[in-house]
Amino acid sequence: MQNYLPACKIVSTHGVRGEMKALPLCDGAAFLAKFKRLFATAQGGGECRMLGVRAQGNTILLRLEGVCDMDAARALVGRTYYFAKADARLPKGRFFIDDLLGCEVIDADTAHVYGTLTAIDRPAAQDIYTVTDAEGGTHMLPAVPEFVKQLDPDNRRILVTPIEGMFTDAVNGDKD
């Protein structure tokens, strides 16, 4: 698990006073607005005080201390900024994707290990978990309460109650 997660990537300048347009790499402007600082490296280096953030369509407009004009903002285009997970306050029962990836997916009733959570996608209303089994086959699991019973990233496990067939035919391999 990482201590610093991507917050946004600067894509262009906005105006002449140092504001920057960025792609959010987290939950968006409202989530990012809760932070007072960002970091220029994924290891926590280059701490920057955040002066403001607001949504603009699918992007965000960001102001950082020391970036006062278009030239200073232009020099940061292409840079990714990170937030410290320690600074984040998630609601109870919510977790960072980074904390869930790599967890074992285990049957809540039988303790059978189906595999490891290797990806989380959001194609529609709910997340879809990709579980990779020991043979390398992948299985899709809707992240809804009917199937996902407990998320336990501290113990690196996810308890599930799948329906018949959910883990028998792998997408990337032949399973009997």
Report the percentage of the chain scoring pLDDT > 90: 64
Domains 4-87 and 97-160 share a fold: no
Question: Is pLDDT of 115 > 90?
Answer: yes
Report the percentage of the chain scoring pLDDT > 70: 95
Residue from 158, 151, 34, 155 nearest 94 by CA:
151
Q: Could you give the CA distance from residue 105 to residue 125 in angstroms, rounded to a whole number?
A: 22
Q: Could you give the CA distance from residue 22 to residue 114 in angstroms, rounded to a whole number?
A: 39
Give me the pLDDT at residue 164, please: 85
Give me the pLDDT at residue 157, please: 95
The DSSP output letter for 92 is T
150-162, pLDDT tens digit by residue?
Answer: 999 889 999 999 8
CA distances (Å), origin 129, targets 38, 78, 106, 139, 157: 29, 30, 13, 8, 13
Domain regions of the chain by residue span:
4-87, 97-160
Residue 48 identity = C
pTM higher than 0.85: no
Question: Is pLDDT of 29 > 90?
Answer: no
Q: Could you give the CA distance from residue 66 to residue 75 in angstroms, rounded to a whole number?
A: 12
Average pLDDT over residues 54-68: 93
Six-digit token pair at 42?
């994924």
Determine whether domain 97-160 maps to CATH 3.30.428.10.
no
Query: 4-87 architecture in CATH?
Result: Beta Barrel (2.40)
The DSSP output letter for 115 is E
Question: Is pLDDT of 128 > 70?
Answer: yes
Give me the pLDDT at residue 165, please: 83
